[in-house]
Amino acid sequence: MDDIATVDKQGRVYLPKDIREKAGVEPGTRFHVETEGERIILEKRRSIVRESRGIFRTKKPIDDVDRVIKEAVQEIVEKEL
Comparing 36 with 76, which gets the higher pLDDT? 36
Q: What is the pLDDT of residue 49?
A: 64
* Tens of pLDDT, residues 25-70: 988 888 999 999 999 999 988 766 666 666 666 666 666 777 778 8
In a domain, 74, yes or no: yes
Q: Is residue 71 a contact partner of residue 65, using CB atoms and an 8 Å limit?
A: no
Q: What is the pLDDT of residue 9?
A: 95
* 38 and 25 housed in the same domain: yes
Give the angle 18-22-24 at the CA atoms, nearest 5°.
110
Q: Which domain holds residue 26?
A: 6-44
Q: How far apart are CA 51 and CA 65, in angstroms?
A: 18
In a domain, 23, yes or no: yes
> Per the structure, how many domains does the chain have?
2
Q: How far apart are CA 50 and CA 44, in angstroms?
A: 14
Per-residue pLDDT for 3 more than 80? yes
* 62 and 32 housed in the same domain: no
Which 8-state DSSP code applies to residue 16? P
Comparing 12 with 48, which gets the higher pLDDT? 12
